[in-house]
Structure 1
Amino acid sequence: MKQPDVDRIWYGAEPAPFWMKSLVPLYRALSAVVRLSWTSGLRRPVRLPVPVIVVGNITAGGTGKTPLVLALIDALRERGWKPGVVSRGYGGSARSPMLLGDDPDPAVVGDEPGLIRRRSGAPVSIGQRRPDAARLLLDADVDVILADDGLQNPSLARDIEICVIDGQRRFGNGRLLPAGPLRESVARLREVDFLVCNGGEPHQGEIPMVLQGDHAQRLDASDASRRLSDFSGSTVHAVAAIGNPQRFFESLREHGMKVIEHAFSDHHALKPADLDFGDSLDVLMTEKDAVKCSAFALPHHWYVPVQAALPVQFLAALDQRLRFAIRECTIRN
């Protein structure tokens, strides 16, 4: 049986096949059962002695959570906080909670936690059980924890919720999984503290976030870099194993490149063969993919780091909300 083109179904005009639509009630029922186990008190979220900020989304795939987490680390540090990050470590082989070292192996810890640790130097812990992993950060002298993803995982009590929205693709066809991209109903957005819109035109009440990057960094140990404008007019191979590869491909075209697209599934463990295209053209990839390729990088392999630009008013409001949360934590403890 031919596999359906999920992207065209979720975000295009192609209708969802019957089998996809028939599974939506099952997904909705299973989600309701899980949610009831928490709202009924049968299971209780773990409350830590420091504030917890959850950064997540309500759609499957990438929306820009990791660049936002990195930007929040910098912003919180500037305001005197000592942030740490907890993640599930999706795509890694680790089965027990662990605190990441200075040079984490993405095959063990996952690509996103590895990127966050290498780029920011902030304490990062991973674990399938979020509370167990988050507790490791308490010994690393953090006073606020950022949970990378986890909006649908209530096991860790949170003080602030931030939902990231893909400003270009939004919520696709508006259906729940698997007929659409939604992990939960858009009604969930009324419960979160901040809505951050990555690219596109923010709707009312949404905070705009713009990803900025103007240079490419070589993957090998040379630390060489080039402005993206230097690649203008050139044909390049573009590699992306992220939730929305087209966003990366289009960003390269905006700098005048002729792009040969190589899209892989999100978190795909890239291998040397995946970057062997039988020619000497430059290969450009995302920073998230680069952490998986540094061991076999060649001189024509480049990655494009990006930074999330956010309004200062949002960062000030977040800081104010955190200071209120820290007082609440002090009262509880």
Structure 2
Amino acid sequence: MLRGVVFIRQIFYRFGIFKSTQLSKPVVVIGNINVGGTGKTPLSIYILQWLQSEGYQPGLVTRGYGGTAENHPLVLDDDTSPEICGDEPYLIFHKTNAPIVVDPNRARGGQKLIELGCDIVICDDGLQHYALKRDLEVAVVDSKRGLGNGWLMPMGPLREPPSRLKTVDMIIRNGESMTLKPLPIEGVGHNTTMSASVVDAVAAIGHPQRFFDTLKSVGLEVIPHSFPDHHQYSAEDFTGMTGPIVMTEKDAVKCHHIADSRMYYLPVETELSNEAADELQRRLLELL
């Protein structure tokens, strides 16, 4: 049933029955066909930072999942809290200092970025948002989880059929052509160096096990604690954890108001294989 709805929706957009907006600047969509995280945010950060290093003015539009903002488009600034905009937009803004707009209407949000002076629009998690025309589609697939049983939700983990990947311009496989290089662990709201080898590992992301495995790869013994993706933390969530508590950078931005000396986070740096980096950079430059 759902497969039929997805197909009809695609057809309606393709033939103009549903309106799709073309912006005056190139639009790059980063997305996936899986429910949950696959690594879109790290790739979005990589693209923004690379374009900035090449002298361009990229901006990013996103739905702002988990945020409480009611007035859109919301342009992030230093005073915007993660509770308002969502954890991922907050993290991207503070990692890149690029213009970030939160708006469920991606076309309206993308237009706002153009008005702010952006020469290319990155749309985070917009693969299924056909109301915005795109010049480049990049799909991120988790190399460990793959496409699961290949079924659409609720029978499987997919938003669209596997055949959708045949229509995108490029596929990045997190864990193969893209890796997340761990950087030195830092304190959440403090500068204390962590010296323990056994840690409470906390993650509220799409695939927590990847984070736990990363911590093990840097020599830590892990006591895992998983929470739902985009979980809003309270102090009670950490009751009984003696620490040190190590979390993802995305989780850390939501914990500054409750942080204590037990809490640390693991920053990561996105690395692409030479082949993937060359292809992605070439495709981006062709748009500009």
TM-score (normalised: structure 1)? 0.82
Counterpart among 211, 223, 235 of residue 180 in structure 2:
211
Q: What residue number does 2:131 align with?
A: 155
Alignment of 1:92-131 (within 5 A): 92-95=67-70, 96-131=72-107
Residues 17-48 of structure 1 show CA distances to partners (whole Å, capped at 9, x for unaligned) of: xxxxxxxx2x2232223223212311231111
Query: Which residue is equivalent to 1:14?
Result: none
| Superposed CA offset, 1:266-288 (max 9, x none) | 00111111122253x20000011
The aligned residue for residue 197 of structure 1 is 173
State whether structure 2 residue 53 is matched by structure 1 residue 78.
Answer: yes
CA distance in 1, matches of 2:283, 2:46: 17
- Cα distance in 2 between the residues matched to 1:192 and 1:225: 44
RMSD of the TM alignment (CA)?
Answer: 1.6
Q: Distance in 2 between matches of 1:275 and 1:244?
A: 20
**Alignment of structure 1 residues 1-333 onto 2, 5 Å:** 25=1, 27-95=2-70, 96-199=72-175, 202=176, 208-220=177-189, 222-224=190-192, 230-231=195-196, 234-277=197-240, 279=242, 281-326=243-288
Contact 1:103 1:118 in 2 (8 A): no
**Shift in alpha-carbon separation, 1:239–1:124, aligned structure 2, 3 A:** same
Shift of 1:225: 5.0
Gap runs ≥5 in structure 1: 1-24, 203-207, 327-333
Contact 2:75–2:101, Cα closer than 8 Å, also in 1: yes
SS at match of 1:122: coil
CA distance, structure 1, for counterparts of residue 105 and residue 140 of structure 2: 23
Residues 189-228 of structure 1: CA deviation (Å, up to 9, x unaligned): 11111110111xx5xxxxx0111013111111x34555xx
Amino acid at match of 2:180: L
Shift of 1:103: 3.9
User: Larger radius of gyration, structure 1 or 2?
Assistant: 1
Alpha-carbon distance in 1 for matches of 2:281, 2:166: 21
Q: Give the conservation status (yes or no) of the 8 Å contact 2:183–2:269.
A: no
C-alpha separation between the residues in 1 aligned to 2:213 and 2:279? 32
Q: Deviations over 1:135-179 (max 9, x none)?
A: 111122211111111101111111111000101111111111111
Deviations 1:227-260 (A, max 9, x none): xxx54xx221111010001111111122232211
Q: Deviations along 1:34-80, whole A, 9 cap, x unmatched?
A: 22321231123111111111010111111111111111111112222
Secondary structure in structure 2 of the residue aligned to 1:54: strand
Change (3 A) 1:172 1:263: same
How many aligned positions are there? 287
Alignment identity in percent? 40
**Matched letter for residue 290 of structure 1:** A
| Unaligned ranges ≥5, structure 2 | none
1:83 and 1:211 map into 2 onto residues whose CA distance is 22
Between the aligned partners of 1:225 and 1:119, the Cα distance in structure 2 is 22
Kindly state the Cα deviation for residue 313 of structure 1 after the two structures are TM-superposed: 4.3
**Secondary structure of the equivalent of 2:60?**
strand
Deviations, residues 287-325 of structure 1 (Å, cap 9, x unaligned): 111110011111120011111101344334334333433
Task: Tell me how far apart the structure 1 counterparts of residues 255 and 186 of structure 2 sit (CA, whole Å).
Answer: 13
- Distance in 1, matches of 2:224 and 2:273, equals 33
Amino acid at match of 1:132: R
Partners of 1:134 and 1:168 lie apart in 2 by 33
Taking the aligned partners of 2:193 and 2:110, their CA distance within structure 1 comes to: 36
Equivalents in 2 of 1:254, 1:139: separation in Å? 44
Distance (whole Å) between structure 1 residues aligned to residue 167 and residue 18 of structure 2: 20
